Amino acid sequence: MKHPEGIDERLRLPPDAFEDVLLHRQATDIQHATLGAGENEISLEFAHMDYLVNEPFNIRAGILLIPIGKFNLLHDSPLNDLTDRPLVAQFVIPSTMSETGAGFYGTFYPGRTSKLDYELYFTTGPCGYDPDGTPRINEESGTKNSRQRKCESTADGFDINNGKAVSGRLAFSPMLGVEVAGSTYYGNSSPSSYNPLSITAIDWTLQKGPFELIGEAAWSYARGNSRAIPNNTIGGGVPTGTFLTGVNTLNSFAGPPQRMNGYYIQANYHFMPSFLANWAPKRFGEGSTFTAVLRYDRVNLNMDNKGENEGNLEQISFGLNYRPVEDAVFKMSYQYMPMAFNPNSGQRIHDNAFVISAATYF
């Protein structure tokens, strides 16, 4: 949990607390009050069953949140201090990324103040191609459309490729307030050939009193994404391995991207002015806090297309939010985008936006 004081709630449960316990978890998520014409989305992001053996080893199965990076695991709006998700978590890691599968997780305590968490899952894998063989990974949306539930003519839980995926995350916390983690995802994205999608990420959290520094960096590689797969029907069918110029939505002379990367760095400062606490203790008392936020985002959605800038995006966000309680937040932020792209006009632009939102659990 997140606290103004920067406290990391760490609890070691006794061994018998895990014996013969079967824990059910499920969640639905309602986001984005408006959608485009003809768009409807009611989605079960994750619903899994945990069998708790002991703290170092437990079993999980169902629709799982893929443990690639930390943001994908903690993506709920009430948990985050800015309205928009980081660019790297939108385009390189396609949050929210969930798949049907099973695996293991647990916690070890290698030292008096240290903690080691791990997750390892086997799942159905990504959806990298439309039924006609057109790559779903491109410069405009990154890996976003390769998520299982976004695949055309399929539903959550269906096998949509030629193999399974494996994912895992290892997080080490040497002391309270410090955590560094590495994670990876690897799975075939093609229904008729071997074209794996791999994503590797690192994330970090540093807390000291009211200050917090968090971030994430990720690299993705969609092998063979720029070339035609077997049994495609693009333009009546093109030979397997043909370089797909003209399929890329942003540059008709380049091929769909294979390599992408990105990162974000975010600084938070939690505070509560004493005059507000004295003036209205019921509104600004214990449990409530303000947070000032500064975040820098950068992604490159086509590292293979050198010399072109369509896939380069950059954003700087300044935010301020108020939490009357931990699980409810009112947010406002200003976004300046020195590197943006307008897909409607096909032009590079500078952009900015002022964003207000509210989020809570119910």
The pLDDT tens digits of the residues spanning 111-137 come to 999 999 999 999 999 999 998 999 999
Q: Which residues pair with 127 in a beta bridge?
A: none
pLDDT higher for 25 or 189?
189
**C-beta of residue 117 within 8 angstroms of C-beta of residue 304:** no
pLDDT score at 196: 96
**78: nearest Cα among 298, 362, 336, 295:** 362
**C-beta of residue 206 within 8 angstroms of C-beta of residue 214:** yes
- Radius of gyration, alpha carbons of the chain: 22
Give ∠ CA 65-71-152 in degrees, rounded to 5: 50
Residue-wise pLDDT for 251-277, tens only, equals 777 888 999 999 999 999 999 999 998
pLDDT score at 6: 39
Q: How confident is the model at residue 278 (pLDDT cuts 50, 70, 90)?
A: confident
Distance CA(158)–CA(123), nearest Å, equals 11
Q: Which residues pair with 221 in a beta bridge?
A: 198, 259
Distance CA(233)–CA(168), nearest Å, equals 35
pLDDT score at 41: 58
**C-beta of residue 160 within 8 angstroms of C-beta of residue 130:** no
pLDDT score at 162: 76
- Structural domains in the chain, CATH included, are 18-25+45-360 (2.40.160.10)
Residue-wise pLDDT for 74-95, tens only, equals 999 999 999 999 999 999 999 9
Residue-wise pLDDT for 125-174, tens only, equals 999 999 899 999 988 889 999 998 777 655 455 677 778 899 999 999 99
Using a 10 angstrom Cβ sphere, with 0-12 exposed, 13-18 middle and 19 or more buried, the burial of residue 16 is exposed
Strands 98-108 and 312-325, by their bridges, are unpaired
Backbone angles phi, psi at 199, to 5 degrees: -135, 130
Distance CA(150)–CA(96), nearest Å, equals 11
Distance CA(277)–CA(58), nearest Å, equals 44
Max mean pLDDT range (1-5, 9-13, 179-183, 229-233): 179-183
Residue-wise pLDDT for 198-209, tens only, equals 999 999 999 999
Q: Calculate the dihedral angle through the C-alpha atoms of 107, 111, 113, 119, rounding to the nearest 10 degrees.
A: -20
Q: Span 319-333, mean pLDDT?
A: 96
